[in-house]
Amino acid sequence: MSNPVFLCADLAGDRVVLDGPEGRHAATVKRLRVGEPLDLVDGTGTRCTGVVTATTKDTVTVAVGAREVEPAPSPRITLVQALAKGDRGELAVELATEVGVDEVVPWAAARCVVRWEGDRGAKALERWRSTAREAGKQSRRAWFPVVRGPLRTAEVAALPGQVLVLHEDATTPLSAVPLAGDVVLVVGPEGGISPEELALLGGTAVRLGPSVLRTSSAGAAAAAVVSARTGRW
């Protein structure tokens, strides 16, 4: 059985005290006890394997037995995800994190029903970031995806990497596109990507298959294809 994974920003030293929300989760939800193994990650590549040596109601003290720094995945995969209704955006982030994307960029596309403005937008962005953290732990990643603030179409077009736009009218399958270097996958909203946006984004319009995927699952499916083709998997 795999060790549970917890996020800890400071992994220096041979003894780590897990406190705050992660400490409370480990102590009161997971009910870790002295002698049990666990993994600690900082989200930027460092992973420590250790054993619980002491607990309180909201802290867990860990003796670090092994430490490694995992190289960043390559090529880098960025998912540009259009804002979606309900929890579909968070589901998209969760699935994409599980398959290994390195960055998630919320995209305020023209046909998005949802708009992130003011406090509502800040709360929505934090939910995406929280979802990425939890999914990173669940999938036992040492590198967690970066979730940056929402971008407009022109800003998305300026992102570094090979831009591949998932589009239902595309004739070129993603599996057949030559890949070179970092990849930017663009997933539109439920209403689709407008012709003006498609022209501004540039890159290559691609399809995944004969069926149309939801905005919440398309990014993860595309990232899986790219990961398999580039040797990340």
Mean pLDDT of 7-36: 93
pTM attached to this predicted model? 0.92
User: Tens of pLDDT along 87-120?
Assistant: 999 999 999 999 999 999 999 999 988 889 889 8
DSSP code at position 80: E
What pLDDT was estimated at residue 1? 72
Domains and CATH numbers, the chain: 5-69 (2.40.240.20), 77-230 (3.40.1280.10)
What pLDDT was estimated at residue 47? 96
Contacts of 167 (CB under 8 A, 6+ apart): 188, 192, 193, 198, 205, 206, 207
User: Tens of pLDDT along 120-149?
Assistant: 899 999 999 999 999 999 999 999 999 998
DSSP code at position 25: I
The residue with tokens 């596109």 is 177
Phi (first) and psi of residue 26, to 5 degrees: -65, -40
Report DSSP letters for 8-22, one per residue: -S---SSEEEE-HHH
User: Tens of pLDDT along 160-212?
Assistant: 999 999 998 899 999 999 998 999 999 999 889 999 999 999 989 999 988 88
**Please, what is the average pLDDT of the chain?**
94
